[in-house]
Amino acid sequence: MGRLLGAWSITLACLAAVVGGAPRQVEAQTNFDRPGGDYLSTQVPSGDPEDCALMCERDRRCRAWSFSYPTDPAIGAICWLKSSVPARVPDNCCVSGVRGGGVVEPRNGTMETSIDRPGGDYHSFELKKGEGEEACKAACAADNKCRAWTFARAGYVGKEPHCFLKKEIKPPRHRAGYISGVVR
């Protein structure tokens, strides 16, 4: 009887593994777009991709979404809800995901994605079109006074990207469209 119960338990465990399958990766993809399948587009006043993911969760038709960062503060960010799950393609314009997945920002230790460190600014400047967080980070590294930096994507502070150099390390705050770093 004990062997039969043990065999039955193993059979059930194997069946559960086959039916359940391996867990799927459904996290949002930063710097990827999912072109096609759009049935609705709407502005996202907060400029936060998490709000786009939440819109998809609340709409039964939605299977996937793409969030376009603002390129102009007057236009703002746009959320595209999709009735299918188009293939993702690399593009710095966007964050995309599928229904059921949240937004997980990349972490690499030297850059804090979706983090602002407000205050402590001693110098700020517009970056040239096409320049990104690496240019802001490099400006801080080249200046002995700089202890931290914050990069704002185009459309969050003005039409062009913006860099803030800081003489003090201020506490981090979650804020979509911003990337920060600390010089140690």
CATH code for position 79: 3.50.4.10
Residue 169 has pLDDT above 50, yes or no: yes
> Cβ distance 28 to 104 under 8 Å?
yes
Are 123 and 168 in a shared domain? yes
pLDDT band of residue 13 (cuts 50, 70, 90) is: very low
Residue 133 has pLDDT above 80, yes or no: yes
Stretch 12-21: mean pLDDT: 38
Are 34 and 63 in a shared domain? yes
Q: Report the C-alpha gap between 137 and 122 in whole angstroms.
A: 15
Q: Which residues pair with 173 in a beta bridge?
A: 116
Residue 142 has pLDDT above 90, yes or no: yes
Q: Report the C-alpha gap between 180 and 115 in whole angstroms.
A: 6
Burial class (CB in 10 A: 0-12, 13-18, 19+), 166: buried
Are 120 and 84 in a shared domain? no
Residue 105 domain-assigned (yes or no): no
Are 123 and 64 in a shared domain? no
Are 85 and 117 in a shared domain? no
Residue 63 has pLDDT above 70, yes or no: yes
Range of the domain at 171: 112-182
DSSP 85: -
Residue 106 has pLDDT above 80, yes or no: no
Residue 20 domain-assigned (yes or no): no
Residue 48 domain-assigned (yes or no): yes
Are 172 and 134 in a shared domain? yes
Residue 106 domain-assigned (yes or no): no
Are 77 and 116 in a shared domain? no
Q: Report the C-alpha gap between 139 and 122 in whole angstroms.
A: 13
Q: Is 73 helix (H, G, I), strand (E, B) or coil?
A: coil
pLDDT for the residue numbered 113:
85
Residue 71 domain-assigned (yes or no): yes
8, 65, 101, 127 from 161: Cα distances, Å: 62, 25, 29, 5
Residue 121 domain-assigned (yes or no): yes
pLDDT band of residue 27 (cuts 50, 70, 90) is: low
pLDDT for the residue numbered 75:
82
pTM for this prediction: 0.69
Q: Name the percent of the chain lying above pLDDT 70.
A: 80
pLDDT for the residue numbered 104:
58
Are 130 and 73 in a shared domain? no
Residue 79 domain-assigned (yes or no): yes
pLDDT for the residue numbered 31:
85
- Token pair 């949002």 in the structure block, residue: 28
Residue 86 has pLDDT above 80, yes or no: yes
Stretch 21-45: mean pLDDT: 76
Stretch 132-154: mean pLDDT: 94
Q: Which two tokens stand for residue 80?
A: 């595209």
The continuous run of DSSP H or E covering 42 comes out as strand 38-44
pLDDT for the residue numbered 33:
94
Stretch 178-184: mean pLDDT: 89
**Domains in the chain, number:** 2
Residue 14 has pLDDT above 80, yes or no: no
Stretch 75-101: mean pLDDT: 91
Are 42 and 67 in a shared domain? yes
Residue 135 domain-assigned (yes or no): yes
